[in-house]
Amino acid sequence: MMTLFDDSAAPQRNLLPQDGMVQYYGAVFKHDEANLYYQQLLEQLAWEHDQAVIFGKHISTKRKVAWYGDQTFEYTYSGILKRALPWVAPLQSIKQQIEELCGARFNSCLCNLYHDGSEGMAWHSDGEKDLKKHGAIASVTFGAQRKFGFKHKLNKKTVYVELEHGSLLIMRDQTQDHWLHRLPPTTKVTTPRINLTFRTIEGSESSR
Domains of the chain: 21-199 (2.60.120.590)
pLDDT of the residue at 8: 47
Determine the Cα–Cα distance for residues 86 and 69; give it in Å rounded to an integer: 6
Determine the Cα–Cα distance for residues 28 and 181; give it in Å rounded to an integer: 22
Residues 103-143: tens digit of each pLDDT:
999 999 999 999 999 999 999 998 777 788 899 999 999 99
Are 179 and 15 in contact by the 8 Å Cβ rule? The answer is no
Are 145 and 3 in contact by the 8 Å Cβ rule? The answer is no
pLDDT of the residue at 61: 74
CA-based radius of gyration for the chain: 16
Number of Cβ within 10 Å of residue 81's Cβ equals 9
Determine the Cα–Cα distance for residues 67 and 47; give it in Å rounded to an integer: 9
Which pLDDT band, with edges at 50, 70 and 90, does 80 fall under? low
Half-sphere exposure of 37 (CA within 13 A, CB side): 28
pLDDT higher at 33 or 57? 33
Q: What is the pTM of this model?
A: 0.87
Query: Which segment of 63-67, 141-145, 184-188 scores lowest on mean pLDDT?
Result: 63-67
Which residues, other chains included, contact 35 with Cβ-Cβ below 8 Å and sequence gap of 6+? none
Are 82 and 76 in contact by the 8 Å Cβ rule? The answer is yes
- Please say if the pLDDT value at position 87 is more than 60: yes
Query: Which segment of 4-8, 141-145, 187-191 scores lowest on mean pLDDT?
Result: 4-8
